């Protein structure tokens, strides 16, 4: 009996050590939605491509890449000017292409079985993730640019009709909807029972994620296209506005905690990492602020506007500027570690899985940066 116990113990120990070893060497995890998680932090749990990443390979799709990529079980999904494409990242093989009648700016959200996204053809789609077959769709009077978020049995998204929708992810039935006073191109973020989303009516809304009831709202000086990012540690939500200000609000009350003003509009959503937030502005600068106080810690100037959001992994910040460069900065001090010139402009937010970073550009190329 004792001998059997020790055999079982040794076996379990070997398995545990093997799992730790896999993780240490960069075991890949999913990046299933815009900015990687439901808090929209843009912080990767995987190691990322490191200080001096190089282009591992290129995939030329010959169609304009219009959304940020997501990664699920070694498959990459992203929107293009005529539909949604799925690629096996192990062998670069195109798995399927789903054609739409409009551009897909909406970054998809994936789970084990399905993938969800909106289109400028005014439809919101649910597809089988492996085959690309349509499961259901929802038609509306407004186009969809907002990137959906899956939480439990519901999938949330906004649209140009000013609606925020919660759909049952299994059958597409509307669980609830909330009407803002203008476009909703911002994407939802969720923590607990609260859903946060911005609108071109200049408001940041906090809604009950189960009922759609308004909990609080805050009006900025101009419209909001940025997606909120949530810090659990700070109990705060951060969002940028076209008024050029990055705001920090208390999650529960909606009270303003601090604000930081840049020199141009903010489209990008902030990344949250180690009590810091990182974001770009159309003033061509990437900023790093203390998340608690809003104090500027450092800034990094580029030669082009910054539309996409930065992502962070292993103390490195990665982002793309309209100067057609992918930058790698040290998160602690903002020092430039590396930069890569890309073939065309890109306003997408990269995805990270394992030691690889993925993004697309206007020429139709998918870049895979790092080592496979």
pLDDT digits (tens, 9 = 90+) for 100-111: 999 999 999 999
Interatomic CA distance for residues 109 and 254, integer angstroms:
27
**Residue 6's pLDDT is what?**
37
Q: Whole-number mean pLDDT of the chain?
A: 92
Fold of 31-370: Methylamine Dehydrogenase; Chain H (2.130.10)
CB atoms within 10 A of CB 71: 24
Average pLDDT over residues 199-212: 98
C-alpha distances (whole Å) from 90 to each of 76, 80, 360, 368 are 10, 21, 17, 11
Residue-wise pLDDT tens digits, 259-317: 999 999 999 999 999 999 999 999 999 999 999 999 999 999 999 999 999 999 999 99
Percent of the chain with pLDDT over 70: 92
User: 338, exposed or middle or buried, with CB in 10 Å at 0-12, 13-18, 19+?
Assistant: middle
pLDDT at site 26: 40
* Each residue's pLDDT tens digit, 110-149: 999 999 999 999 999 999 999 999 999 999 999 999 999 9
**Amino acid 27: pLDDT:** 46
pLDDT (0 to 100) of residue 16? 36
Task: Provide the whole-model pTM.
Answer: 0.91
Which of 288, 328, 287 has the alpha carbon at shortest distance from 306? 287
Q: What's the confidence (pLDDT) of residue 358?
A: 97
Here the tokens at position 329 are 């900065």
Q: Which residue has the tokens 């009516």?
A: 201
**Residue 372 pLDDT:** 61
What is the SS3 assignment for 223?
coil
Q: Higher pLDDT residue, 304 or 5? A: 304
- Distance, in Å, from the CA atom of 301 to the CA atom of 304, rounded to the nearest integer, reads 9
Torsion, Cα 77 78 83 89, to 10 degrees, reads: -40
Q: How confident is the model at residue 92 (pLDDT cuts 50, 70, 90)?
A: confident
Q: Are 369 and 55 in contact (CB under 8 A)?
A: yes
User: Is the model's pLDDT at 343 over the cut of 90?
Assistant: no
| pLDDT tens for each residue of 212-230 | 999 999 999 999 999 999 9
> Can you tell me the distance from the alpha carbon of 321 to that of 149, in angstroms, rounded to the nearest whole number?
25
CA 229/CA 206 separation, integer angstroms: 13
Determine which helix (DSSP H) or strand (DSSP E) holds 198, and give its type and residue range. strand 194-198
């Amino acid at each position: 009996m004792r001998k059997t116990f020790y055999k079982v113990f040794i076996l379990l120990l070997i398995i545990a050590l093997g799992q730790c070893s896999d993780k240490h060497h960069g075991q890949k995890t999913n990046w299933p939605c815009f900015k990687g998680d439901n808090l929209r932090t843009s912080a990767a749990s995987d190691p990322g491509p490191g200080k001096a990443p190089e282009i591992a390979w290129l995939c030329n799709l010959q169609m304009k890449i219009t959304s940020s990529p997501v990664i699920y079980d070694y498959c990459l999904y992203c929107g293009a000017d005529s539909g949604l494409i799925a690629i096996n990242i192990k062998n670069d093989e195109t798995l399927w292409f789903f054609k739409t009648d409009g551009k897909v700016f909406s970054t998809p959200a994936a789970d084990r079985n399905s993938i969800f996204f909106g289109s400028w053809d005014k439809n919101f789609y649910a597809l089988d993730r492996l085959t690309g077959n349509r499961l259901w769709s929802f038609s509306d009077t407004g186009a969809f640019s907002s990137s959906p978020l899956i939480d439990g049995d519901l999938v949330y998204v906004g649209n140009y009709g000013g609606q925020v929708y919660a759909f049952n992810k299994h059958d597409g039935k509307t669980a609830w909807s909330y009407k803002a006073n203008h476009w909703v191109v911002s994407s939802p973020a969720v923590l607990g029972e609260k859903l946060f989303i911005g609108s071109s009516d200049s408001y940041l809304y906090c809604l009950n994620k189960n009922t759609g009831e308004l909990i609080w709202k805050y009006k900025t000086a101009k419209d909001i296209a940025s997606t909120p990012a949530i810090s659990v540690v700070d109990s705060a939500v951060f969002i940028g506005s076209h008024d050029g200000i990055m705001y920090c609000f208390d999650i529960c009350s909606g009270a303003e905690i601090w604000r930081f003003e840049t020199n141009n509009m903010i489209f990008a959503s902030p990344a949250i990492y180690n009590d810091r937030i990182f974001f770009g502005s159309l003033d061509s600068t990437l900023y790093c602020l203390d998340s608690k106080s809003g104090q500027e810690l450092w800034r990094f100037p580029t030669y082009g506007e910054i539309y996409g959001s930065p992502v962070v992994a292993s103390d490195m910040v990665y982002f793309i500027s309209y100067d057609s460069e992918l930058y790698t900065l040290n998160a602690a001090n903002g020092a430039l570690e590396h930069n890569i010139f890309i073939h065309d402009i890109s306003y997408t937010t990269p995805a990270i899985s394992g030691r690889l970073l993925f993004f697309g550009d206007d020429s139709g190329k998918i870049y895979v940066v790092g080592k496979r």
